[in-house]
Chain A
Amino acid sequence: MSTQPNVLATPRRSFDSRRFLDDWAMMLAALAIFALCALFIDNFLSPLNMRGLGLAISTTGIAACTMLFCLASGHFDLSIGSVIACAGVVAAVVMREFHSVALGVTAALVMGLCVGLINGLVIAKLKINALIATLATMQIVRGLGYIFSNGKAVGVMEEQFFVFGNGQLFGVPVPIVITLVCILFFGWLLNYTTFGRNTLAIGGNEEAALLAGVHVDRTKIIIFAMHGVIGALAGVVLASRMTSGQPMIGQGFELTVISACVLGGVSLAGGIGMIRHVIAGVLILAVIENAMNLKNIDTFYQYVIRGTILLLAVVIDRLKQR
């Protein structure tokens, strides 16, 4: 068909520099920071340090994948730090009692699922603000972790359990493999499924999504349930790395995960979010922390620097919207 009289003139695919910046700026920043560290900091690129960096990324990275969905739908989840700790404890306790790795891991994931479902149901069905709802579950779950463990770290004896944290697959540490799989899977989920697109639509305009026929409540419940399970998975990996379930870890972890997402470009108000934002945010935070450690910068200063970076990112985000 070479002679079609009224073909639509191909729309001008003019290069939208602003849109490009929105989408890729933080990714480029992350790579730039990585390159700078590689150039100016000794031992940064050493295999040992790269391995450490990868492991440092893994816990945040896994949890950030699903936090992306919470944020994209216009909510967030503060209970994730407690879920991580509690999942480790549950896995360790169950393994202590039943000597079964499968049972321990399953129990941890089921615990995460339950917390997520409760969060989702309370937020979607009872229309309670995610801040309050997850603040409550954060404390409940933290408390449960202490109760299950009697407030002490629970050691794990099962050798097989250590595969999650310390094993290797084709020479790559398993936590990094799990993180990569999560990033690929959730990136795909967000872009190529109706569930992912609906998540963004709900965050962008819940009322409009409802009127357009989106299953708003169901989508929200799935998002939080998914986040609970993935949080528990991160907890299992962490417990495996530490060879014990510790009820006190992960305090403030929820804020690190949210910071990483927002730093990468995910909107706190919902409606904007991409997996590359998550990658960029997690990478920037981890690389800077790693660099500060290599430079022997005092932990006290590290807090100040991390906070400043986050503030800067949010201000830039605000300016972009003008």
Chain B
Amino acid sequence: MDAVRQPVLNDSLAFQNIGKTFPGVNALSDISFTARPGSVHALMGENGAGKSTLLKVLGGYYQPSSGHLRIGEHEVVFRNTADSIRNGVAVIHQELQLVPEMTVAENLFLGHLPARYGIVNHRQLRQQALQLLKGLAEEIDPNVRVGRLSLGQRQLVEIAKALSRGAHVIAFDEPTSSLSARETERLMAIIARLRDEGRVVLYVSHRMEEVFHICDAVTVFKDGRHVRTFEQMSEITPDQLITCMVGRSLDDIYDYRSREKGGGCLSVSGLLGPGLQKPVSFEVCQGEILGLFGLVGAGRTELLRLLAGLERHKAGSLALKGEPLTLRSPRDAIAAGILLCPEDRKKEGIVPLASVAENINISARSSHATWNCLIHGRWEKENAEKQIRALNVKTPTPDQRIKNLSGGNQQKAILGRWLSMPMKVLLLDEPTRGIDIGAKSEIYQIIHSLAAKGIAVVVVSSDLMEIMGIADRVMVMSEGAVTGELSRTEATEEKLLELALPRTRA
């Protein structure tokens, strides 16, 4: 019935009453919309709204429990990923499906290397790879191992791989979440080209600017349901789109309130260390939220790592409330009340297999333990419950393994860990990356309430709206140096970007 058919450009992609149930959960119900060929169709919604599940159905990872897919006039059934690829569908996931130890060329032709008698013809392989990369990423040498490419370049290799398989429908899952501005720009140009060639492009992203820049139509999901499809972007404004997704407006989400600023808290002068090209000096006051904006690789994370004692500084000095401070390890920073919520929650933040309670209590427990070593069971239980309640961490029980929680709730648990400690300075590195808007707004509220209590907060973010939405003052970094500082009223998108973009030096 669904004989494999050579995919044809200018076929539309239609989802018809797609539903997907997992035991006990309705992940998708009755999703119907059509994506036109020659257009970029955005899928938007909070995390858990069903976008990723839908892409997995499209990619053949999941079989829909009801409904079907239609490409052009033909109904298609994808029993597995191979079916999906054969029908001209490519899904570019956030975690790219490349083998880092193999070369670009080998990755491009993985599974069908040009070979005779099982011996790979390397010359032919290189040539075909160059052909594929033409017009996409000509600077990439096909003989280089994929592990040595930047994330943006890997994505382009993935796109080339999709095109080599004749992909007609290409779906991107948050493609720009870890790209630099320049890489994003290039990706946008490529997506525009794919669209103009008559392909169907699906685009999942949380970033409003991008969606309004590149997309032609948008479908909004909420709780696994199809809310609405706007066939033209002109039908809607960003504010309306957000309201459509969460039922709240932007101002409500950031919920900025001006505060009394206290005396100086953390002062940094002439700090130099790994990742910093020029000495960095600044001061944060008690009760102030300092935004740290810049592109990926600008040195912001490195600066926070220095402040958190993870790296040693080579020059310069730190002072906390006028007292000079030496940091040899994260423990020193924690003892001084400088606490870091790291950028990569999974890798550096949580202990995934441990319970939520365990993750909350890990830092504060020893100061409540008898002789610093015998665990105070009652305190641990009460503290975990207190933080879970105060921060609205959504977990069935405190004993739930934290890896089963959503990103937003994991982040709240890490905040709970630090709220159990005496805190003077809170360092947040991309605190809301990959977190849905509902949890984001809760995290902003927590940040504001901490600042209101007189804690100095430093927030690193690549999200312009977020930085402008929550910070009292924004410091901008570029190429390992501070390039400027703007107050809340001075900070505009243009000014921030201008300071953040690397200068081409003569």
Contact = CB atoms under 8 A, between A and B. Distances in A.
Interface in B325-364: 330-331, 334-335, 340, 342, 347-354, 358, 362-363
Interface string B74-103: 000000000000000000000000000000
B410 to A, nearest CB: 11
A197 B347 CA distance: 19
B385 interface: yes
9 contacts: A12-B396, A192-B374, A193-B369, A201-B354, A204-B354, A208-B342, A213-B362, A214-B363, A215-B331
A293 to B, nearest CB: 37
A125 to B, nearest CB: 13
Contacts of B349: 208, 211
Contact of B373 (A14, A194, A207, A213): A194
A38 interface: no
A194 B365 contact: yes
A34 B410 CA distance: 42
B397 A204 contact: no
A271 B354 contact: yes
Given A208-B349, A213-B362, 7 more contacts: A14-B396, A193-B373, A193-B374, A208-B351, A211-B310, A213-B363, A267-B353
Interface string A188-216: 00011111011011001101111111110
Interface residues of A, number: 28
Contact of B353 (A11, A14, A194, A272): A272
B397 A212 contact: no
Contacts of A201: 351, 354, 358, 362
B489 interface: no
B375 A197 contact: yes
Given A195-B373, A197-B358, A213-B363, A13 B351 contact: no
Interface of A: 8, 11-14, 191-195, 197-198, 200-201, 204-205, 207-215, 267, 271-272
Nearest to A204: B351
B362 A214 contact: yes
A136 B183 CA distance: 47
A200 B351 CA distance: 9
B351 A194 contact: no
B495 interface: no
Contact of B369 (A14, A194, A207, A213): A194
Contacts of A212: 330, 334, 362-363, 417
B348 A200 contact: no
Contacts of B397: 11-13
A100 B398 CA distance: 53
Contacts of B362: 197-198, 201, 209, 212-214
Interface string B118-143: 00000000000000000000000000
A205 B352 contact: yes
Contact of A208 (B334, B335, B348, B375): B348
Contacts of A205: 347-348, 350-352
10 A-B pairs closest in CB distance: A204-B351, A213-B334, A271-B353, A205-B351, A212-B363, A212-B362, A194-B366, A207-B348, A11-B397, A213-B363
Contacts of A215: 331
A272 B363 CA distance: 19
Contacts of B352: 204-205, 271
B351 A211 contact: no
Given A197-B362, A205-B352, A211 B373 contact: no
Contacts of A194: 365-366, 369, 372-375
A213 B342 CA distance: 13
Contacts of A11: 395-398
Nearest to B377: A192
Contacts of A211: 308, 310, 330, 340, 342, 348-349
B407 to A, nearest CB: 15
Nearest to B421: A213
Nearest to A215: B331
A22 B249 CA distance: 44
A197 B365 contact: yes
Q: Among A14, A193, A198, A271, find the residue whose CB has the most chain B CB atoms closer than 10 A.
A: A193
B148 interface: no
B439 to A, nearest CB: 19
B186 interface: no
Contacts of A12: 396-397
B389 interface: yes
A217 B434 CA distance: 32
Contact of B375 (A8, A13, A193, A214): A193
A193 B373 CA distance: 5
Nearest to A14: B396
A162 to B, nearest CB: 36
Contact of A210 (B330, B353, B373, B377): B330
A260 B420 CA distance: 38
Which of A11, A205, A212 has the most B CB atoms < 10 Å from its CB? Answer: A212
Of B330, B334, B349, B354, most A-chain CB atoms within 10 Å: B354
B333 to A, nearest CB: 8
Interface in B378-435: 385, 389, 395-398, 417
B354 A200 contact: yes
A212 B349 CA distance: 8
Contacts of B398: 11
Contacts of A213: 330-331, 334-335, 362-363
A208 to B, nearest CB: 5
Contacts of A214: 362-363
A213 B366 CA distance: 10
Nearest to A8: B389
A209 B353 CA distance: 13
Contacts of A191: 375
Contacts of B373: 193-195
Contacts of B350: 205, 208
Interface in B300-323: 308, 310
Nearest to A6: B389
Interface string B247-266: 00000000000000000000
Contact of B347 (A8, A14, A207, A272): A207
A191 B377 CA distance: 10
A197 B363 CA distance: 11
Contacts of A207: 347-348
A169 B347 CA distance: 50
Contacts of B417: 212
A279 to B, nearest CB: 21
A289 B348 CA distance: 43
A271 B401 CA distance: 12
Nearest to A196: B375
Contacts of A204: 351-354
Nearest to B364: A213
Contacts of A193: 369, 373-375
Nearest to A188: B374
A265 to B, nearest CB: 13
Contacts of B395: 11
A14 B400 CA distance: 11
